[in-house]
Amino acid sequence: MDIQVSKEAAKWYKNELDLEKNETYIRFFVRYGGFGGNIPGFSLGVSKDEPVEVHASKEVENITFYVEEKDAWYFEDNDLKIKFSRKKQEPEIAYEQRR
């Protein structure tokens, strides 16, 4: 699994989550419920957490975005791609099949 986060999306997360200088980790995790997810009935959650057992990570704008091993099942051989939508003024999440 690969994680891709655009610089604009990383800055948005930094502002929205009020990251302090010493907070440099953003975790993507599986939530029960919600919509627009990779698997029906589940969606992607976001939190400021220290990593425990990293499955995949990517550093952008001095922030490490990561997914824990226990949440790897949700991605089912897909990459996580996050870009910033200027129209919506928020990140857009996409799951792309690994090649």
Report how far residue 27's alpha carbon sits from residue 45's, in angstroms, rounded to the nearest whole number.
8
DSSP state of 55: E
pLDDT for res 20: 84
pLDDT in tens, 18-70: 998 888 999 999 988 876 677 777 889 999 999 999 999 999 999 999 999 99
Q: Where are the domains of the chain?
A: 3-97
| CATH code at 3-97 | 2.60.300.12
**CB-count exposure of residue 11 (10 Å: 0-12, 13-18, 19+):** middle
Single pTM value for the model? 0.91
Neighbours of 16 (CB within 10 A): 11
Instruction: Indicate the range of 8-12, 15-19, 56-60 predicted with least confidence.
Output: 15-19
